[in-house]
Structures are given as C-alpha cells and as structure tokens.
Structure 1
Amino acid sequence: MRVDKLKVADFHCDVLSKMQASPDINFDNDPRLDVTAERLASGGVELQCFAIYLSATRGKPSFEHVLGQIDLFRQKIVNTDGLQWVRWKEQVGNRLVGAPPQAMLSLEGVDGLEGNLFYAQLCFELGVRFLGVTWNYANWAADGVLEKRNGGFTEKGRKLIEWCNESGMLLDVSHLSQAGFWELADLSNRPFIASHSNAAAICGHVRNLNDEQIKALIAMNGRMGLTFYPWFVSDDGKARMDDLLKHIEHVCSLGGEKHLMFGSDFDGIDTWVEKLEHPGKYPDLIEQLLRYYPEDTVKGWMYENATSFLSANLPSQVSKP
C-alpha cells in the first residue's frame, strides 16, 4: 500500500485564531501557517477540523469574536474554491474522486458564548459541530484542567450539556478538569471526544488523560485524538515520531485501537515533533506506523476511526426541521 493513498483526518488546528490576528494571511500557502491548503493536499488530509479559539491577547472573549472566526472560515476556508464543509452525517465518507478535502468547525472553550444558550444555538445553525467546554481555566460552564479547585460544571454548564444532547452538538473534553470529565460522563447520554490529548501514563502533562479517563472514552465508544505538541508527547519536551508510538501502544493496551485518531494542534503550538512540523508530513508518519502495524489498523487511526464516529453521531440533515 502506498502511504500517499491513505487518507488522514485531523481533529484540531488553530488556523482561525492566527487568521483573526493577522487578516492578511493567505490560507493557500502562507508560511506563517502550519496548516495550509497546499499542505493538506500534499499530506493526504481528507478531513480537517478547525477550532475557534479566542486568545486572551484579544481581550475578554465575546460572541463577536466567535462570529468573526466563523466568518473567516466561511470566506477563506470553505469558499467557492475551498474545502468542503461537513455539517451532517450524510456528508461523511460521501466523497467524489478528486474532491477537495473536507472541513469541520469546532469551538475551543465556550467563554465567547457568554453564558447564553441562544448563542450556542446560533453556532449550531452557523455550522459549528463540536464544543470544547473549556480552555485551561474556569468559565461560566465548567472548570478547566488548570483550575486548582478542580470543579465540575455550573448550573448553566449542566444546561449546556442537556442542550448539546438534544441538538446534536458534540462535546470535546480536551482542556476540561478531571471533575468536569467525570460529571460529563455521568450526565451525557451521547459519547464525546478528547480532540487533542495524549496518555498521562506515558507523558505526565496535566492536559493528558489518565487510564481511567481513557477507559471511559473507550467504554462509551468516544474518540481520543493524539496531539503533536512535544510537551504532551514526552516529559522533556523533545519528541520524535517514535515517541507518539508509545502513546498509541498504551491506548491500545487499554482496548482503544478502534478509538484512536489524531488532533495535531498545528498552529496552536510553537514547537513540533521532529519531522512532523505540518500536515504535509503525514505521509512520513504513516510510513513509520506501517513499519510496525497492519495496514487496516493504520487506516483506522489515520481516518476511519474518526469518520465512523462522525457517521454515528453527527446530526442528520434528513431529520432537520
């Protein structure tokens, strides 16, 4: 099997926040970006999830900032000649030969929704399909992983969970506190994902998931996207592709072979795994994985585990009122 024939899904990048900060950035091939249209094509990335991340450098997060990044996504990522926007389960895997890559839209931290579920509904109507509840700190919905008190969800946050379950908006626990993780696991009637988190047993970064959390994701048929930020890969902050294999091996040892995917965090990181600096390098990672694992298993990690989750859990356009 030629490595350039394996498709890739990547569940997290921060292109939009960079574009909001520097409006002159060109998504096609701008050197200021890790993820560009050219690199997605050369890397075989068939599905890329773009996060709406509201940097603290822009002041207090607001819904206006959220709308600004949605507009950038619409105008510069999925414009007439751009990527194909995925919003419904019927679009997943329904690909014509030679079609451009697909793109999804997520929200990293609900701070910008300002505690207003109507804003969450507007995000859904505008095409956002994943909500990461927090970034690293507390907001109106829950505590992030760096909050020392390790609190769970607020009353409004629990209403947000209920609304997500009813509407079809999917939830993402990367950055959520441990208490929040377990409360969500108890309250949600739908599986969720960790879009960009690694295994704490291999690298002790606070953002990585412990074994019990990973087992819980597996039990609910959720998904775990391994991230390429070196500090989440190796305790000394220096990482090679082989170091990612340690996380893969560990998650698989817990029963997670069918639940692994990737969430690179490209454009949200300032150091990179050696020889994995942008999505154009995905074929090199695939080649490395194929040295040790069967082709069907690698296919699952690179693309099929992610798309099977979307096919099962995205809302249906057919049932849309």
Structure 2
Amino acid sequence: MRQVADLHCDVLSKMLRDDKVTLGPPNDGKLDVTLGRLRQGGIGLQVFAMWVPDELAKTPETLLRAAELFWSKVLTCEGMRLVRKPADVESVLSGTDPGLTGALLSLEGVNALQGQWWALRLLHRLGLRLLGPTWNHANWACDGVGEPRGGGLTKAGRQLVAECEKLGILIDVSHLSDRGFWDLADAASRPFFASHSNSRRLCDNPRNLTDDQIRALIAVDGLVGLTFVPYFVTVPGPATIDDVLRQVEHVCGLGGERHIAFGSDFDGIEVHVQGLSHPGEYPALAEALIRRYPEAWVKGWLSGNVRRFLTTNLRE
C-alpha cells in the first residue's frame, strides 16, 4: 500500500465540542478520521489542526485544551507517533513500518492566542509545528478570505511571522486574504505552504489559490495541499475523483508536480467528494492517479513531497 500524508483534518475541533469523541470505536459515526480508516488508507502522516469553534471561548486556555486532547486522545492510540522533527517524519513516511501513523499538530487561526507569545511558545513545546494565521475572518494578525476589506498582515501579524520563524513553526497560507498572502510572501524568510486549498482558476472560490499564488508557492519550494472540500474542487454540482484529478493537472501545468500534496479537510466538512468520504478511501484516489501519471509523481503527491518539505524545513 502506498504511503499517504494528509495536511489537514479537524478531529480536534470535534473533540473540543464533545470530549467523549475518540479515534477508536464506537465513534465511527461521529468522525471521518478514525484509527481504522487511517490504517485502511495507508496514512503515514496526519496533520491534526487546532481550530476553536465559534461557540467556545477564543482564549489560550482553549488552545491548551485542544493540545491536551491531541496528547491524551490521539497520541495514546496504538501505532500513533508524535511528529515534530525531521527524524520523526522519516520514521513514519519511510515505509519501513506500515503500522505507524505520524501525528503532527497545527493551528488554524490565531484568534485564541490573543497575541500572547508565551502561549505560542508553550504550544510549540507541546508539538505545534504548522500555523495558519486565520480562518476566513479578520483577527489581530491578519484578514482572512471572508473579510470584505481584504486587508493583509497587521504589524502584530508580521511579528507573528517572525516569532514562528524563530521557533521553527511553518506558516500555512490557506484561508489568508489575497493581500495577506502577498504580505506573508514579502515577510517570510523561510518556505511556506497551503495545507488545504485548490486552484481558483478551476473553481472560483476565494479560499482557492490564484495561478500567481501557486507559482509563488512553487518558487519558495513550498506545497500546494489540494483539498477534498467539494465546493473548492468544482462548481456546480457534486464533486468526483476526476474533478480532483483536474486540480492536480492544473497545478502540474504551472510547473508544480514536485509541490502537490493533499489536505483532505476531513471532519471539517459535511459533504464529500464522491468516493473520498474518509481517509480509508485514499487508495481509490491513488489508483485513479496511477492510471494517468508516472508512479514516481504519484508517490510524491501522496507523501514524498510532504516528506521532502518537512524534513528540509522542520528543525531538530
């Protein structure tokens, strides 16, 4: 079975809402991402995002609760391995132990940090290695794609970039406004990436990336994590695996074959691409890809490009 790396799921948000939710039985009906489905899909690395739902307090304490859930309910599962440095990435994506799944902690939206650098440093100690400055709306650091004024990074947002680079936390541009994207590109001295965004040329949604943004990600040796959110894949109507392949083809056409990855957004969506409703169905995507593209390219898209990006850019 081919190794897979997935750059985004929202399991921790569901756990924040309901502390009885776990990756194992009997929660198959509550989660897209379960331990069994991770094994079924050959997931060697899964990124778990901390996103604070609107009904919960946007405070550092809520983020620490999410991080505690990551440690107590994810990392305690059989075969789960914490990923926070290059050697960890190699251990879970080398293919030598298919029974392992790496778990990597990310933050989606810095609202709850409230500009408190001690909280960022503490979360880093707890495993935080990836950070998206916003989730659609405006906050103290930047504007998201849903903010009508379309602002970029604030002064504090530029400091956030500097603090993350000092700690070795990689910046995720998914959800950033267009101006925020270019402000980040200007401020960053290290490669950045998109965890779960598609091509805006193929699907005209502000959450997707323009061709110029995709080229910018390629230029910094970043990643374009294509997502399975149906309304970011195609409009109108149901999305299929063939529609996902069209997204792949478009990024390849821009010179991005060494930069494609996948970020499903499982457990963050209510509807799914047909045939891609949970991580156990990744093999169907892999088979569709291998019928059209060279094996080496497909291995890169499924995990190789993520492996290279993280081993190059994470710190010991």
Fold-level similarity (TM above 0.5): yes
Give the 3-state SS of the residue equivalent to 1:193 in structure 2: coil
CA distance in 1, matches of 2:160, 2:248: 32
1:23 corresponds to which of 8, 12, 19: 19
| 1:141-290 map, 5 Å | 141-290=141-290
Work out whether residues 76 and 82 of structure 1, in 8 Å CA contact, stay in contact via their aligned partners in 2: no
Give deviations 1:277-320, integer Å, cap 9, x for gaps: 0000001111111110111110000000011100000011xxxx
Work out whether residues 109 and 135 of structure 1, in 8 Å CA contact, stay in contact via their aligned partners in 2: yes
1:100 Cα deviation after fit: 1.9
1:65 Cα deviation after fit: 1.0
| 1:87-166 map, 5 Å | 87-95=84-92, 96-166=96-166
Partner residue, 2:75 = 78
Of stretches 39-48 and 18-27 in structure 1, the one that deviates more from structure 2 is 18-27
Q: Which amino acid aligns with 1:92?
A: V
Partner residue, 1:319 = none
CA distance in 2, matches of 1:47, 1:237: 31
TM-score by length of 2: 0.96
**Any unmatched runs of 5+ in structure 2?**
none
Q: Which amino acid aligns with 1:38?
A: G
1:51 corresponds to which of 43, 49, 57: 49
CA distance in 2, matches of 1:176, 1:97: 36
Work out whether residues 194 and 224 of structure 1, in 8 Å CA contact, stay in contact via their aligned partners in 2: yes
Work out whether residues 205 and 235 of structure 1, in 8 Å CA contact, stay in contact via their aligned partners in 2: no
1:6 corresponds to which of 2, 6, 13: 2
1:80 Cα deviation after fit: 6.3
1:97 Cα deviation after fit: 2.3
TM-score by length of 1: 0.95
Work out whether residues 193 and 222 of structure 2, in 8 Å CA contact, stay in contact via their aligned partners in 1: yes
CA distance in 2, matches of 1:237, 1:105: 33
Partner residue, 1:299 = 299
1:98 Cα deviation after fit: 4.3
Alpha-carbon RMSD across the aligned residues, in angstroms, is 1.1
Work out whether residues 44 and 98 of structure 2, in 8 Å CA contact, stay in contact via their aligned partners in 1: no
**Any unmatched runs of 5+ in structure 1?**
317-321
Of stretches 252-261 and 232-241 in structure 1, the one that deviates more from structure 2 is 232-241
Give deviations 1:49-68, integer Å, cap 9, x for gaps: 0000101022x411111011
Aligned residue pairs, count: 311
Cα 1:287–1:98 change in 2 (3 A) is closer
Partner residue, 2:63 = 66
CA distance in 1, matches of 2:77, 2:223: 31
